[in-house]
A and B are shown apart, each in its own frame.
Chain A
């Protein structure tokens, strides 16, 4: 009996030990700080929570896809690290040769990684297919001003535009519309799958793709044949590792499993990582803008309300601009990952100003209750004003709730407002806001291209996408003027004038500007060079 019990015990013990065999045989992970960032030899690994929709330029219009495209495809126009100004990339020259003709001359001897020659025919093909395919997720709408493209000779491309002197067009060529693809690889009328693209090697940018697992891991190698504005990368290659959860992204950069963590760490992550000596938090101005929209018909004293009064409605907007404390929101809610915004054009872009800083509050960006009270008194508003304020909890990040709770608190603390704060899920929200359901509501914006115009035209001219019933012919004229003014200084002045005019009307109330944020290992160099006003992630400047 004792023998049998021993045998049973042995069997049980053996099985019990086996239960942990998986753990035992694996040993430590090596996650304790050894860098696995690259395969060695100057390869860097960049982690992100962004996603790739498609590597086909005709089928995507999102930050995640563009980030990869910006590394692998050649562009006619791009911008140097540190700048947002459109400059020739693989083009030798680019300029308006007539008010409606933009002529680009290609550099000689350009070729794709598969050996095919890159000529003006490829350029025409690339642009034409974006327009022809007009994919619902694609960037075709950015080419609304394009009439036609012609390949004059092997190295000359002529873009004919519908509206003359479109100063934004060079910038548009540096967006999702602009990657030049190989006409011998891509089909003309449909989106190509990522795997087929990778096999075809139609790459002519700073890097080529060596291996590709969609939204898991992309391995890039420096392209020796690239002859463009960005030059030779500072590294031999780069890996892009994709994360779903920013916590995992944070832990991996802390443990040295990746070299740089880019988009999108949370405010709390960033604040936490700033205390960690093994990593460095890099910040720069970003292109995201968060703001409040006023519906001119339905806001308090709006045109279609029972007590419509344009003067009082303006006073309400002014008083809100006087009271809101952007700095408190930026630091308390977003831990410095957003910066206070005092204009509809984010700081850092050519022509950006800060008119709201002087015009509202204490003149230095802080709130001023007396000024708000005066605005009410001057307009004849007595008692508190009830505001229905809407925000969205799922589209603009988890912290929107905290952001708008703070705005409510700030407004109500003044004694001038009583705020009914409500939130709605995104699909309903985005439909309801254009159906005049929300008198005052939250929106946010990421730029399509790094130009002040992208923060003006879509918002403040008649038929804009806000549909908030705001129209001011004078403002429309200024915005249209800046769009066609060729002289750089004069154009920037017009951009400034447009911001001032819009700030007076307060069709929207800018609150916060997103800060670009990257966290890198202490030995990683060059990160700050990519945090420029172009808002493009350039892996080529990063090294270790």
Chain B
């Protein structure tokens, strides 16, 4: 399932007919509307999470239900305020959010903001790594598929792309782990670094939390190698999910662009085939990747929950799964709000980029 979002071709060789520039007056309004849409998006998500989390019962019972007499249990529920009407709890929560107070986690007594900062960097690192894998796999394979259209490599790569997209990320992760970590022993089983590397990196002054960056900053090449080794399997597991989409997108766009009239016109004018492909066909075919890349952030964040859990990659996704199990309302709400903000802002940026590339989307 690929959406063809084509950007206007480059006109460096004067291949396109001259046309009048359209007025860009709608852009400001467009940006404003898109910006304002961020807030209801987050609000709806926050509301849904708040009420859905409460369907499964209160966290005090979940934690202490087997140990305390009912009276004591009820007292604790009362003390924590979980026996008050839901709308009261909800509006208090919203008021708290507005002041930037995300609260303290119920299950491990952490400031939610501190928790988000700590684990956000790990998830950011994983997402960057996965994006690199997706691009490094998706773009070249897409080019090969387009170049060898309707031949065996194309067929194989199209199947590969479908498999990448259709295979559940945790399943791919388990397969990779079983093959490269357990059977072959080439790569680590789980975690973000060996104990010694983690201790070395944790000891740094104001570490960023992005391990490879911390290792580079400290010049610790041994830790860098170790961190990279730990990054491979999670990055590949998550990256392949998006690589399939990139592959199909590049293939489709490249084939479409190579058949355009201005390419034919270029050929007839004697522009070299290499220049036509790399300058006039290849680059425009890649521009939609930027747009889709933004949209894929949401997919990757969703996939990160399973990938992080599979590989003990202690990021937001990993914590989200744990806090869900513990029915820690406060933590789950905090993480979901942050993820919602990231996705909303990413989509906002993508909308702006898309509007700048193709003025038609503003209308």
Contacts and interface: CB of A to CB of B under 8 A. Distances in A.
B72 A430 contact: no
A51 B79 CA distance: 24
Contact of B225 (A1, A27, A32, A216): A27
Residue from B66, B79, B111 with most neighbouring chain A CB atoms (10 Å): B66
Given A219-B199, A464-B69, A251 B181 contact: yes
Interface in A417-432: 425-431
Interface string B173-199: 000000001100111111100111011
B314 A216 contact: yes
Contact of B136 (A8, A21, A467): A21
A1 to B, nearest CB: 6
Contacts of B62: 426-427
A26 B229 contact: yes
B189 A255 contact: yes
A194 B110 CA distance: 8
Nearest to A19: B136
Interface stretch (B9-17, B138-146, B290-298): B138-146
Interface in B221-267: 225-226, 228-232, 235-236
Contacts of A426: 62, 65-66
Given A15-B143, A36-B195, A464-B69, A430 B61 contact: yes
Contact of A54 (B108, B143, B147, B230): B108
A26 B232 contact: yes
B76 interface: yes
B46 interface: no
B159 interface: no
A244 B63 contact: no
B interface SS class? helix
A46 to B, nearest CB: 11
Nearest to B202: A211
A244 B314 CA distance: 9
Contacts of A1: 273
Given A8-B277, A16-B140, A213-B202, A257 B66 contact: no
Given A29-B230, A427-B61, A22 B189 contact: no
Contacts of B66: 395, 426, 430, 443-445
Interface in A111-163: 136-137, 141
B108 A52 contact: yes
Q: Interface residues of B toward A: which range?
A: 35 or more
B129 A22 contact: yes
B132 interface: yes
A431 B61 contact: yes
Contact of A467 (B69, B277, B278): B69
B54 to A, nearest CB: 11
A463 B70 CA distance: 10
B6 interface: no
B280 interface: no
Interface string B94-118: 0000000000000111110010001
Nearest to A59: B109
A482 to B, nearest CB: 21
Nearest to B143: A12
A238 to B, nearest CB: 11
Given A245-B309, A251-B182, A463 B69 contact: yes
A434 interface: yes
Contacts of B321: 244
A137 B63 contact: yes
Contacts of B19: none
Given A217-B199, A252-B189, A467 B111 contact: no
Contact of A257 (B64, B80, B195): B195
Given A23-B232, A216-B198, A248-B312, A53 B107 contact: yes
A38 B198 CA distance: 11
A480 B197 CA distance: 54
Interface string A1-45: 101110110011001101111110111111110001111000001
A25 to B, nearest CB: 7
B103 to A, nearest CB: 14
B29 interface: no
A444 B65 CA distance: 11
A101 B114 CA distance: 44
B195 A45 contact: yes
B188 A31 contact: yes
A51 B331 CA distance: 15
Interface in A456-477: 463-465, 467
B100 to A, nearest CB: 18
Contacts of B312: 243-245, 248
Contact of A211 (B199, B225, B229): B199
Contacts of A243: 190, 312
Given A8-B147, A31-B188, A252-B190, 16 more contacts: A4-B273, A11-B143, A12-B144, A16-B141, A22-B228, A22-B231, A28-B186, A28-B187, A29-B229, A141-B68, A248-B191, A425-B56, A426-B65, A427-B57, A430-B73, A465-B68
Closest 3 CB pairs of A and B: A430-B65, A15-B140, A427-B57
10 contacts: A4-B272, A8-B143, A22-B129, A22-B136, A39-B196, A51-B108, A54-B108, A195-B114, A211-B199, A244-B322
